[in-house]
Amino acid sequence: MTVTIVDSQATPVQEKIEKIFSKTDDLGVCPVRGILDRIGDKWSYLTIIHLGNSGKLRFNELKAQIGDISQRMLTVTLRSLEEDGLVQRHIYAEVPPRVEYQLTALGESLLQRMIDLAEWANMYKAEIVKARSRYSKN
């Protein structure tokens, strides 16, 4: 009864959310959260974007592209993405060692959602900056 939304497209959205966030696992917590927590952290999405951009990168190339990531955090992030099957690591038995990273097919499918989000931010950044300055004038 509390439903007082515009009611034209309201129900479809609710159904989607309801469906996605249903707590179906044994812990009573929806499994989507665990995934979003991993890919939603500060460095994961930048790593995915840059890997998607270049296709295949060595450790230090990737580090240089992202710019302000520390060696430690890049290692940690890459391991996490590798564990989730989003990134593939290729090790070449050479001296000096060479290691290349690239997105898996799963990673590529996520890349598209990441780009969508980045495009959203890009499209509305002016509006957000405006809102922030409006907010600070209180």
Residues at the site binding a copy of itself, with contacts judged by CB under 8 A? 2-5, 10, 13-14, 16-21, 31-33, 35-37, 39-42, 45-46, 49-50, 52-56, 82-85, 106, 109-111, 113, 115-122, 124-125, 127-132, 134-136
For 92, the 3-state DSSP assignment is: strand
Q: Are 56 and 101 in contact (CB under 8 A)?
A: yes
Residue in the block written with tokens 């990134």: 87
Sole binder of DNA in the list 49, 66, 73, 106 (CB under 7 A): 73
Least separation in angstroms between CB 93 and a copy of itself: 18
8 Å CB contact between 72 and 123:
no
DSSP 48-65: HHHHHHHSSEEHHHHHHH
**Residues in contact with DNA by the rule CB under 7 A:** 41-43, 58-61, 68-73, 75-76, 78-79, 89, 91, 96-100
